[in-house]
Structure 1
Amino acid sequence: MTMPGRADHQRGHGLLLRWLAVFAAPMLLLALFVWCAGWFPPRLTSQRIVDAFEATTTPHPGFRRNHAKGICITGHFDSNGNGASVSRASVFERGSYAVVGRLSRPGGNPQQDDGEALVRSFALLIALPHGEQWRLAMNSTPIFAVRTPQALFEQLQAEALDPHTGQANPAKMQAFLDGHPEARAFLEWVRLHPPSSRFDNAAYFGISSFRTTDAQGVQRFVRWEVVPDSPWRPVEARAQSDPDFLSHALMTQLAKGPLRWHLVLNVAMPGDPIDDSTRQWIDSPQRERVDVGTIVIDRAQAQIDGPCRDITFDPTILPDGIAPSADPLLAARSSTYSVSFNRRTREEAVAGSNGR
């Protein structure tokens, strides 16, 4: 038997390359045709997510694309030192740290009635030594409706206003829910937990999991919540006659004295999901819960010129000793907050130059 020589191998290799070239050209043309026909969905980006938020309401230049209606708050965080058992973060060293925050309701319309809001939101920036910050973005629900940025984008598409009617299409939302059964847990939680009558008597949850590292290098996963000193009460019908009852009630309560919430770290147990914000951790007497201090709010200001106006409450801005988990929503929130900030500040700059 004659063994193939080097020349035979080179001829075979050259023939293979020629056949690949013959097939590559039409395949490339086919791929370009499919792309131009829109059969390949465009890559999901933070810009497209912000576009989708914008499509859920009429234009409101200069405002946040979500949580557009809110009020600035200031105060301090009294750390009791207990958090050092979980994390080496400087925020858990005993002491008092300045706080700038924002209380708000979801949605992109800053004129929307408070009575339509089923969820309240609480965002904080805690200023720490050596230039560190801890930014927290929390909702009055312990879970989120969707697990991934793609699912969030699809939810926003389902909520988009029809350009002809100015209303959302219920059929689109039903189709979204049919395709995302995990969202039903969120809807059920909201159904069973009526919204609070005020901002200050609601508990707020970080929702996503975060990884902590203590002074010995031991790592844990936690979810945090803030628990109000004020007892929860549901919204009363008479309060809803005021479209801005949440901010008005906040000012009324602050006139009586500071408002307080306890910041609590819930430590993960075996089996707890750490990368899925749609799943609630079980309520167990065995769970370690660490009360790490008290958030004290003593002043509120309008967001139009208040200290929270130019802050993005990016939940991935964390002190050493706290880090994001693998929850895919965290990175998406960070990037979309940045895009929203750039758009609204650019709109403010244009409006300011036109007004001179």
Structure 2
Amino acid sequence: MPDDGKVTLNRRTIFSALAIGGVGALGVGGFLATENRIGPHRLTARAIIDRFQNTAGVFPGFRRNHAKGLAIEGYFESNGTGTELSRASVFEPGRYPVRGRFSLSGGNPHVADDSSVVRGLALRIDLPNSEQWRLATINLPVFLDPTPQDFYDRMLAFAADPATGKPDADRKSHYLATHPRTAAAMAITKTEPVAPTFASSTFRGLNAFEFTDTTGRTIPVRWTLIPETTATPAPGRGPDYLFDQLKMDIRAAPCRWALTIVVGVPGTDRTDDATVAWPDSRRTVTVGTLVLTGIATATADSVRETNFDPLVLPDGIAPSDDPLLAARSAAYAESFRRRSGEGDGRGAIEAGGAA
């Protein structure tokens, strides 16, 4: 998927300008996908976002997925170790400002918190020379779908029946029987205990990417944010208990995660299928620490206008051949396009903190 030489720089420049302005897409290709001109079986970003809306309803001004959330700020402290793996400026020793957002999956920003719902942590790391690194991570060990079409189909198969409020059991069973990779991925997710709080959750960027060092050597990687914060959940469970706890944790002391890079073996580890876990024996390198220090309305206002497109990358980091990456980029852009004309999406958690 990545290009090299002058072509990479030109596409990166065009893409970054679009994405930072809130219209992220995988260059021209991602934009065309939103217009129903490319993509397997004519699957488009518009169709994906329509499916989110059909499943959860429409809440004007909010993201179509991970609608309920809380904006945060802090910094990434790079220890310099990552320069061995990539020439990206983020790995040079130093401290880089971070703005981001914790969230729960789903399109309803007013739904009650549920520990079984997938948690997200999206980050925007601001770097020298106007570069950014945007990360979209979740608290699962693997993704549940190998392709955009599978993701789209699963949303329908697992959608709640209006009559019961629950997915149809026969429809789910049939889907899993005919999609063994999703069934296997779900089995893997059940083996990992769910952390009691956001601050004690492990977050992963499940798609593979490529790092390129100063010599031009390229390696496949994935990354994980490993919590250094002890879980101390308060008693009581109101409708926003996970976010209430998060506010208390961050206000009590900075919350910290070690950013660990998992180095894949070229030609051996799958880079095109996020349902497949890489072996535990793979080399890992801790490249720095994410430190989240506060919650602020000004940060929320900025984050509301941020499209956490995982393909906004600094030089030295590039997408792999995972087909989900282009689909996510285009779908995030379509979600932004819709919500940006609907209002500010305030009020799900606190003024300025939801969108």
| TM-score range relative to shorter protein | 0.7 to 0.9
Identity %: 43
Q: What residue identity is the alignment partner of 1:267?
A: V
CA contact 1:72–1:303 (8 Å) conserved in 2: no
* Alpha-carbon contact 2:273-2:322 (below 8 Å) kept: yes
2:217 equivalent in structure 1: 218
Shift of 1:122: 0.8
- Contact conserved, 1:142 with 1:206, CA < 8 A, in 2? no
State the partner residue of 2:269: 272
Distance 1:154 1:301 in 2: 38
Matched, 1:283 2:280: yes
| Greater Cα shift, 322-331 or 172-181 | 172-181
Counterpart Cα distance in 2 of 1:347 and 1:117: 30
Residue identity matched to 1:215: T
Q: What residue is the counterpart of 1:256 in the other structure?
A: 252
CA contact (8 A) 1:72 1:307 kept: no
Map of 1:334 onto structure 2? 329
How many angstroms does 1:115 deviate by? 2.0
| Superposed CA RMSD | 2.4
Partner residue in 1 for 2:319: 324
The residue number in structure 2 matching 1:50 is: 49
Is residue 98 of structure 2 the alignment partner of residue 102 of structure 1?
A: no
Instruction: Give the CA deviation at 1:208.
Output: 0.6
- 1:61–1:304 distance in 2 versus 1, CA, 3 Å: farther
CA contact (8 A) 1:258 1:298 kept: yes
Q: Deviations over 1:89-109 (max 9, x none)?
A: 010111111101111111111
Check conservation: 2:134, 2:312, Cα contact below 8 A.
yes
Cα distance between partner residues in 1 of 2:200 and 2:163: 40
Q: Secondary structure at the match of 1:114?
A: coil
Count of paired positions = 306
Q: Aligned-pair distance for 1:171?
A: 2.7
1:116-154 CA distance string (max 9 Å, x none): 533211110000011100000001112110010110110
| Residue pair 1:70, 1:303 contacting (<8 A) in 2 also | no
Q: State yes or no: 1:343 paired with 2:338.
A: yes
Give the TM-score of the pair, scaled to structure 1. 0.80
Q: For the Cα contact (< 8 Å) 1:71–1:301, is it kept in 2? A: no
Q: Quote the offset at 1:216 in angstroms.
A: 0.8
Q: Distance in 2 between matches of 1:187 and 1:128?
A: 36
Matched, 1:247 2:246: no
Which has the higher Rg, Structure 1 or Structure 2? 1
2:291 is aligned to 296
Contact kept? 1:118, 1:190, Cα under 8 Å:
no
Q: How much does 1:167 deviate? A: 4.9
The Cα offsets for residues 283-335 of structure 1, whole Å up to 9 and x where unpaired, read as 01xx3211111111001246995431111111111000000000000000000
Aligned AA (1:195) = V
The Cα of 1:169 is off from its aligned counterpart by 2.9
* SS of aligned partner of 2:303: coil
Following superposition, the deviation at residue 162 of structure 1 comes to 4.4
Q: How does 1:22-101 map to 2 (within 5 A)?
A: 43-101=42-100
**TM-score w.r.t. length of structure 2:** 0.81
Unaligned runs of 5+ in 1: 1-40, 352-356
- Which structure would you say has the larger RCO, counting Cα contacts within 8 Å and 6 or more residues apart? 2
Summarize the Cα distance change of 1:305–1:289 in structure 2 as closer, same or farther, 3 Å threshold: closer
1:159 is displaced (CA, Å) by 2.9
Contact 1:203/1:228 (8 A) holds in 2: yes
| Aligned equivalents of 1:93, 1:127: Cα separation in 2 | 13
Counterpart of 1:6?
none
